[in-house]
Amino acid sequence: MRAIIILSKFLGNTFAYWVLIFAVLSYLMPQWFIFLKPAIIPLLGLVMFGMGLTLKIEDFSEVIRHPGRVALGVIAHFIIMPGVAWLLCQVFHLPAEIAIGVILVGCCPSGTSSNVMAWLAKGDLALAVAIAAVTTLVAPILTPALIWLLASAYLSVSFIDMLYSILQMVMLPIILGVMAQKIMGRRIDVAIDILPLISVVSIVMIVAAVVSNSQSKIAESGLVIIVVVIIHNTFGFLLGYFTAKLFKLPLAQRKSLSLEVGMQNSGLGAALASAHFSPIAAVPSALFSVWHNISGALLSTYFRKMKEDSHSDVKPGENGSTNKILQ
C-alpha cells in the first residue's frame, strides 16, 4: 500500500506532463484511444466522487456565508469569456462560421473539468462547484442571449438537458462521495491517500479520448483557429485571476475563479454548433475541449506550488479538506 501511495503522490506532482504526453500520443495514434469515448462520463464521475470524499459540509456552508464570491465568479465568467471571444473575432477577422463557433464556446457555462482542476490546484473546490453549477443553471437564458447579442444569432438551449448533465456528471457523484465519507468516517482515509492516482489516470484517459475522437477536426482546423483558442483560454485564466485579486479574495478563491472563468463546457458548444450551424462551427469547441484540459493541467500544477501571501484572510484550516488530498 505504501508503494501505491508514493506512486499516487508522484503522479499528482507530475500531472501536467502526463496530460501532455498522452495528448500528443492520442493525436498521433488515435486508433489506440478512440475506444475510450464512452468512458468519458463515468471517468469524470469517478473523479468527482473522489472529490466528494474529501469535502466537508462546512466547505459548502462557507460558500453560503459568502454568496458574493459565487456571484463574482458567475458574472466574471459571462462577461470575460464572451467579450474576449468577440474581440478575437474582430482582431483576426475570422470568417462568419468560425467566428460564430468561437463566440458560441465563449458563451457556454463553466466546464465540469474545471472542478477537477480547481481540486488539483488546491483551490476552493466548494466555490468552484458552486460557480460551475450556477453558470449552468443560468445558461439557458444567458447563453442564447449573449450569442444573439454578439453573433446576431439565437440558439434554443434545453434547460432540462443541461441541468441533467451537471447533476449526473458533477453534483450527484460529489453528493455520493460526501455521503460515503459521512458513513465510513475515518475508514475512508486510506482511499483518500490514493485518490491522486485515480484522478490523474482518469483525467489522462479523458484527454486521450477527447483528442483521439477529435483528431480529424484538429488536423483540418488550421493554425489560426488553434491560436485563437489558446489566446481565448489564456485571457480567461488571467482575467479571472486578476478579477478575484482586484476584489481581494484569498489565494484559494483566486485559483478557483481563474479556472472557472477560463474553462468552458466546450462539449456543449460543439453539440450546439453542430445542431444549429455548420460542422466547421464546432471546430473551435472541439479544439477548446482539448486545449483547456492541457492548459488547465499546467495551470493547476503551477497553482499548487503557490503560497498564500501575508495579507490573506484565509483562516487556519480553511479549505483543508481540499488541500489534504494532494499533500
The 10 Å Cβ neighbour count of residue 301 is 19
| DSSP structure class, residue 214 | T
Q: Taking the chain, what is the end-to-end CA distance rounded to the nearest angstrom?
A: 17
User: Can you give the pLDDT at residue 37?
Assistant: 79
Predicted confidence (pLDDT) per residue in 135-169, tens digit: 877 887 888 888 888 877 545 555 677 567 767 77
Are 109 and 143 spatial neighbours (Cβ–Cβ below 8 Å)? yes
The 10 Å Cβ neighbour count of residue 264 is 30
Give me 103's grid cell: 463566440
| Position 317 pLDDT exceeds 60 | no
User: Can you give the pLDDT at residue 325?
Assistant: 35
Residue 304: closest CA among 255, 262, 264? 255
Residue recorded with cell 488553434 = 226
User: Can you give the pLDDT at residue 244?
Assistant: 94
User: Can you give the pLDDT at residue 315?
Assistant: 45
CATH code of the domain containing 228: 1.20.1530.20
- The answer to whether position 277 is within a domain reads yes
Predicted confidence (pLDDT) per residue in 83-109, tens digit: 999 999 999 988 888 888 899 899 888
User: Can you give the pLDDT at residue 15?
Assistant: 67
User: Can you give the pLDDT at residue 199?
Assistant: 76
* Entry pTM: 0.70
User: Can you give the pLDDT at residue 3?
Assistant: 74
For 124, phi then psi, to 5°, come to -85, 95
User: Stretch 189-217: mean pLDDT, rounded?
Assistant: 77
| Position 235 pLDDT exceeds 80 | yes
Percentage with pLDDT > 90 across the chain? 19
Structural domains in the chain (count): 1
- The answer to whether position 4 is within a domain reads no
- The answer to whether position 325 is within a domain reads no
Predicted confidence (pLDDT) per residue in 237-292, tens digit: 999 999 999 999 999 999 999 999 999 887 777 777 766 777 677 778 878 877 88
- The answer to whether position 139 is within a domain reads yes
User: Can you give the pLDDT at residue 144?
Assistant: 81
User: Can you give the pLDDT at residue 291?
Assistant: 86
CA separation for the pair 44, 179 (Å, rounded) = 18
For the chain, what is the mean pLDDT?
79
Predicted confidence (pLDDT) per residue in 11-46, tens digit: 666 666 777 788 889 889 989 998 887 887 788 788
Q: Give exposure, 101-140, as e/b (b: 16+ Cβ within 10 Å).
A: bbbbbbbbbbbbbbbbbbbbbbbbbbbbbbbbbbbbbebb
Q: What does the DSSP assignment read for 20-82?
A: HHHHHHHHH-GGGTGGGGGGHHHHHHHHHHHHHHH--HHHHHHHHH-HHHHHHHHHHHHHHHH
Q: Which domain holds residue 226?
A: 67-175+214-304
- The answer to whether position 196 is within a domain reads no
Confidence band, pLDDT 50/70/90 cuts, at residue 322: very low
User: Can you give the pLDDT at residue 125?
Assistant: 83
Are 88 and 106 spatial neighbours (Cβ–Cβ below 8 Å)? no
User: Can you give the pLDDT at residue 311?
Assistant: 45
The 10 Å Cβ neighbour count of residue 237 is 20
- The answer to whether position 15 is within a domain reads no
- The answer to whether position 222 is within a domain reads yes
Predicted confidence (pLDDT) per residue in 57-86, tens digit: 665 565 677 788 899 999 999 999 999 999
Residue 105: closest CA among 268, 274, 277? 268
User: Can you give the pLDDT at residue 321?
Assistant: 41
- The answer to whether position 12 is within a domain reads no
Of 152-166, 179-193, 220-234, 293-307, give the lowest mean pLDDT range.
Answer: 152-166
